Structure 1
Amino acid sequence: MPLPSLTVFIVEDNAWYSEILAYKLSQNPDYAVRQFASGRDCLKHLTEETPDLITLDYSLPDGSGEQIMAQLRERLPEVPIIVISAQEDVGTAIGMLKKGAYDYFVKDEETAERLWFSAQKVREQLALRRENAQLRQQVEQKFDPARSIIGASPKVRELLALIEKAARTNITVSLSGETGTGKELAAKAIHFQSARRNGPFVAVNVAAIPRELIESDLFGHEKGAFTGATNRRIGYFEQAHGGTLFLDEIAELDLNLQAKLLRVLQERELTRVGGSKTIEFDARLMVATHRDLGEEAKQGRFRQDLYYRLLGLPIVLPPLRERGADTVLLAEAFLREFCVQNSLPQMRLSEAARQKLLQYTFPGNVRELKAVMDLAAVLSDGETVQPKDLSLRNSIVPEGESTEPESLREQIARIVQTHLDAHNGNILHVAKLLKIGKSTIYRMIQSQEVRVR
Structure 2
Amino acid sequence: MSDYRIVIIEDDRWYAEVLKHHLELNPEYLVKWYEDGLTFLNKVKIEPNLICLDYSMPGLKGDEMLSKIKAKFPNTEVIIISGQEDVATAVLLLKLGAYDYIIKDEDTTTRLWNTVLKVKEKDALKSELKTLKAEVQSKFAPKNAFIGESAEMQSVFKMIEKAANADITVSITGETGTGKEVVAKSIHYNSPKKDKPFVAVNVTAIPRDLVESELFGHEKGAFTGAATRRIGKFEEANNGTLFLDEIGEMDLNMQAKLLRALQEKEIIRVGGTQKVKLNLRVVVATHKNLLQEVKAGNFRQDLYYRLLGLPIELPPLRDRGKDIVLIAEFFLEDFCKKNGKPIQKLSPSAEKKLLAYSFPGNVRELKALIELSSVMTEGDVIDATDIMLHTSGGDLGDLLDVERTLKDYTNKIVQHYLNKFNGNVIKAAAALDVGKSTIYRMIQANEIKA
Question: For the Cα contact (< 8 Å) 1:199–1:243, is it kept in 2?
Answer: yes
Q: Which residue of 2 aligns with 1:235?
A: 232
Deviation at 1:233, TM superposition (A): 2.9
Which of 328, 345, 350 does residue 350 from structure 1 map onto?
345
Q: Find out whether 1:312 has 2:309 as its counterpart.
A: yes
Going from structure 1 to structure 2, the CA distance change for 1:113 and 1:377 (only over 3 Å counts) comes to: farther
Partner Cα distance (1:82, 1:232) in 2: 36
Question: For the Cα contact (< 8 Å) 1:372–1:391, is it kept in 2?
Answer: no
Which of 277, 280, 292 does residue 281 from structure 1 map onto?
277
Which of 317, 330, 333 does residue 330 from structure 2 map onto?
333
Question: For the Cα contact (< 8 Å) 1:4–1:126, is it kept in 2?
Answer: no
Matches within 5 A, 1:74-93: none
Going from structure 1 to structure 2, the CA distance change for 1:24 and 1:360 (only over 3 Å counts) comes to: farther
Partner Cα distance (2:302, 2:255) in 1: 10
Give, as a single letter, the amino acid of the residue that structure 1 aligns with 2:370. M
Q: Which residue of 2 aligns with 1:301?
A: 298
Give, as a single letter, the amino acid of the residue that structure 1 aligns with 2:275. I
Q: Which residue of 2 aligns with 1:248?
A: 245
Deviation at 1:174, TM superposition (A): 1.1
Which of 213, 237, 245 does residue 210 from structure 2 map onto?
213
Post-superposition Cα deviations, 1:329-378, rounded to whole Å, max 9, x if no partner, equal: 323333444455x3x44754424066153333322111122223344454
Deviation at 1:161, TM superposition (A): 0.7
Going from structure 1 to structure 2, the CA distance change for 1:28 and 1:260 (only over 3 Å counts) comes to: closer
Going from structure 1 to structure 2, the CA distance change for 1:239 and 1:390 (only over 3 Å counts) comes to: farther
Which of 317, 320, 324 does residue 321 from structure 2 map onto?
324
Deviation at 1:192, TM superposition (A): 1.8
Give, as a single letter, the amino acid of the residue that structure 1 aligns with 2:186. A
Is the partner of 2:201 in helix, strand or coil?
Answer: strand
Q: Find out whether 1:271 has 2:268 as its counterpart.
A: yes
Q: Which residue of 2 aligns with 1:259?
A: 256
Aligned-residue identity in percent: 49
Partner Cα distance (2:252, 2:311) in 1: 22
Is the partner of 1:213 in helix, strand or coil?
Answer: helix
Going from structure 1 to structure 2, the CA distance change for 1:171 and 1:113 (only over 3 Å counts) comes to: closer
Structure 1 gap segments, 5+ residues each: 11-19, 37-45, 56-72, 408-453
Question: For the Cα contact (< 8 Å) 1:372–1:390, is it kept in 2?
Answer: no
Is the partner of 1:175 in helix, strand or coil?
Answer: strand
Structure 2 gap segments, 5+ residues each: 9-17, 34-43, 53-69, 399-450
Matches within 5 A, 1:398-417: 402=393
Number of residue pairs matched?
390
Give, as a single letter, the amino acid of the residue that structure 1 aligns with 2:187. I
Alignment root-mean-square deviation, CA: 5.3
Question: For the Cα contact (< 8 Å) 1:248–1:289, is it kept in 2?
Answer: yes
Give, as a single letter, the amino acid of the residue that structure 2 aligns with 1:225. A
Deviation at 1:328, TM superposition (A): 2.9
Partner Cα distance (2:188, 2:122) in 1: 30
Deviation at 1:236, TM superposition (A): 2.1
Question: For the Cα contact (< 8 Å) 1:223–1:230, is it kept in 2?
Answer: yes
Partner Cα distance (1:391, 1:310) in 2: 44
Give, as a single letter, the amino acid of the residue that structure 2 aligns with 1:185. V
Is the partner of 1:197 in helix, strand or coil?
Answer: coil
Going from structure 1 to structure 2, the CA distance change for 1:206 and 1:406 (only over 3 Å counts) comes to: farther
Which of 153, 156, 162 does residue 153 from structure 2 map onto?
156
Is the partner of 1:315 in helix, strand or coil?
Answer: strand
Which of 133, 137, 142 does residue 140 from structure 1 map onto?
137
Is the partner of 1:301 in helix, strand or coil?
Answer: coil
Q: Find out whether 1:204 has 2:179 as its counterpart.
A: no
Partner Cα distance (1:231, 1:74) in 2: 39
Give, as a single letter, the amino acid of the residue that structure 2 aligns with 1:279. K
Q: Find out whether 1:363 has 2:339 as its counterpart.
A: no
Deviation at 1:114, TM superposition (A): 9.3
Post-superposition Cα deviations, 1:84-110, rounded to whole Å, max 9, x if no partner, equal: xxxx999xxx9xx99x999999xxxx9
Q: Which residue of 2 aligns with 1:421?
A: none
Is the partner of 2:231 in helix, strand or coil?
Answer: coil
Partner Cα distance (1:76, 1:230) in 2: 44
Question: For the Cα contact (< 8 Å) 1:179–1:365, is it kept in 2?
Answer: yes
Deviation at 1:227, TM superposition (A): 2.9
Partner Cα distance (2:109, 2:180) in 1: 58
Deviates more, 1:167-176 or 1:223-232: 223-232
Matches within 5 A, 1:65-104: none
Partner Cα distance (2:155, 2:149) in 1: 10
Which of 171, 174, 181 does residue 174 from structure 1 map onto?
171
Q: Which residue of 2 aligns with 1:434?
A: none
Give, as a single letter, the amino acid of the residue that structure 1 aligns with 2:347. A
Is the partner of 2:187 in helix, strand or coil?
Answer: helix
Matches within 5 A, 1:417-428: none
Give, as a single letter, the amino acid of the residue that structure 2 aligns with 1:233. R
Question: For the Cα contact (< 8 Å) 1:269–1:278, is it kept in 2?
Answer: no
Post-superposition Cα deviations, 1:55-95, rounded to whole Å, max 9, x if no partner, equal: 9xxxxxxxxxxxxxxxxx99999789999xxxx999xxx9x
